[in-house]
A = this chain, B = another copy of it.
Amino acid sequence: MSDRRDDLLRQAYAYALEHGLADLSLRPLAAAIGSSPRVLLFLFGSKDGLVRELLARARADQLVLLDQARGGGLAEVMEAVWSWLAAPEHRALLTLWLEGYSRSLVAPDGPWTDFARTTVEDWLKVLADAQPASDTKAAETERTLALAVLRGALLDLLATGDVERTTAAVRSIMTGYGQT
């Protein structure tokens, strides 16, 4: 019966969104989601195993977004992705994402392995699919720039909460692309 396992993972995910991953600890987590450290270790093998599944879930959430954003040219995809990034209800997920990103840069081992590099590739691939001719050097530069703008604006937004200014910045660069 992995119902309980899935349920606990879902609750642990919600808890991680609220409290962050950096100082996640089994005892407080278990207490908050009505379980025990013993059970969490039994179900997930180790804390690292649990964290790995939490990160996988965070990545899965983003992949769902990226899939929904498909279709149309680069401008449409950027618009769709940005409106998702700027939505207040995704703020917690995105700070969690940034946490995993920065952590994977300083500690290449552990559950975070390759998290940063993987998400770069995930996103670039989706952007490439939105380009008519994605195999040219110019196209690669174009989508790298698009990714940089989205993420740079996200960093800004997460720190300042200024939706208007950051959205204006993202929009301003899309006008350059063809409006398919």
Smallest Cβ distance from A127 to chain B, in angstroms?
12
Of A19, A102, A156, A166, chain B has the most CB atoms within 10 Å of the CB of A102
Q: Which of A7-46 contact B (CB under 8 A)?
A: 19-20, 22-23
**Consensus secondary structure, chain A interface:** helix
A56 adjacent to chain B (CB < 8 Å): no
Q: A102-B102, A106-B95, A107-B20 are in contact. Are A144 and B155 (CB under 8 A)?
A: no
Chain B residues with CB under 8 Å of A148's CB are 148-149, 151-153, 155-156, 166, 169-170
Interface size on A, residues (CB 8 A): 44
Chain B residues with CB under 8 Å of A172's CB are 141-142, 145
Report Cα–Cα, A78/B119, bound state, in Å: 26
Chain B residues with CB under 8 Å of A173's CB are 145, 173
Chain B residues with CB under 8 Å of A104's CB are 159
**Which residues of A pack against B, CB within 8 Å?**
19-20, 22-23, 95, 98-99, 101-107, 116-117, 119-120, 137, 140-142, 144-145, 147-153, 155-156, 158-160, 165-166, 168-170, 172-173, 176
